[in-house]
Amino acid sequence: MRRTLIAGNWKMHGSLSSNAQLLAALSSGVDEAVAADVLVCVPFPYLAQAQLALSGSKVVLGAQDISERAQGAFTGDVSGAMLQDFECRYVLVGHSERRCLHGETDVQVAAKAAAALALGIVPVVCVGETLAQREAGQAAQVVATQLAAVLKHVGVAAFSRLVVAYEPVWAIGTGRTASAAQAQEVHSWLRAQVAALDADVAAGLRIVYGGSVKPENAFELFAMPDIDGGLVGGASLVAEDFLTICRAVNH
Ligand code: PEP
């Protein structure tokens, strides 16, 4: 049985005062009635604030990026050991905004996943096609190539210690959600790709969907057999919306 994961990605949003309200609401709102692991990935400067605010709650903390390197002269980068100092249990790697805006390659994303795994931090490996790629019939090829780079670098056994996020680029922050059937189709391709190497690992692999997940569509998405939760951007900034999404978990 795969435990559902609902992950909030705050992106570059927040302030000390708005975070305090949001974190307090999540901390008290995520209770036994939520049948999922709940994660928030906050901007680096707020890790300490979030660590403190979430202590004793059921909400776990994550980051939005990790350096593939351990330490050194890498201005602006943040290492896995630094994330561990703030009890980050998860980290996003290869979010499409990192791939598109910062030129992260499949190889670099795979190295970041490996860096997280080496420290026991769970990487949430994001894959997804652009609208042009989907319209050209290349969605399957694109996500398979992105996933293959990680499989090659860390090996299939390590997929029992990571999460995959399918995030069609055309659905992120656009209000345009993949239909539950479209998302399920890609999730089943991804699981099959892993199953071809190790059926047991594939059966236990959590594959979450991201792209305009909202209270209105969460239930339908999470009801699909290969959708094991969500990676939620915009709606994770509004406590009531995020909590409603967390409560939409039904498997
Ligand atoms: C995301 O941040 O990964 C995301 C899917 O954003 P949104 O939910 O706003 O589309």
Enumerate the active-site residues: 95, 167
- Residues 128, 129, 130, CA angle at the centre, nearest 5°? 130
Q: What is the pLDDT of residues 149-185, one digit of tens each?
A: 999 999 999 999 999 999 999 998 888 888 999 999 9
Q: Using a 6 Å cutoff on CB, does residue 9 contact ligand 1?
A: yes
Task: Give the number of other CB atoms < 10 A from CB of residue 17.
Answer: 8
pLDDT at 250: 64
pLDDT band at 135 (very low <50, low <70, confident <90, very high): very high
- By most ligand atoms within 8 Å of CB, the mutation choice from 167, 170, 209 for ligand 1 is 167
> What spacing in Å lies between the alpha carbon of 20 and ligand 1's midpoint?
21
- R_g (Cα) of the chain, nearest Å: 17
- By most ligand atoms within 8 Å of CB, the mutation choice from 40, 177, 231, 238 for ligand 1 is 231
Q: Using a 6 Å cutoff on CB, does residue 123 contact ligand 1?
A: no
> What spacing in Å lies between the alpha carbon of 5 and ligand 1's midpoint?
15
> What spacing in Å lies between the alpha carbon of 14 and ligand 1's midpoint?
15
Q: What is the pLDDT of residues 36-87, one digit of tens each?
A: 999 999 999 999 999 999 999 999 999 999 999 999 999 999 999 999 999 9
> What spacing in Å lies between the alpha carbon of 72 and ligand 1's midpoint?
31
Q: What is the pLDDT of residues 183-214, one digit of tens each?
A: 999 999 999 999 999 999 999 999 999 999 99
Q: How far apart are CA 64 and CA 39, in angstroms?
A: 11
Q: Using a 6 Å cutoff on CB, does residue 177 contact ligand 1?
A: no
Q: How far apart are CA 112 and CA 135, in angstroms?
A: 30
Which residue is closest in CA terms to ligand 1's atom 1? 233
Q: Which residues are CB-neighbours of 61 under 8 A, at least 6 positions away?
A: 39, 40, 42, 47, 50, 51, 54, 86, 87, 88, 89, 90
pLDDT at 251: 45
Q: How far apart are CA 218 and CA 168, in angstroms?
A: 16
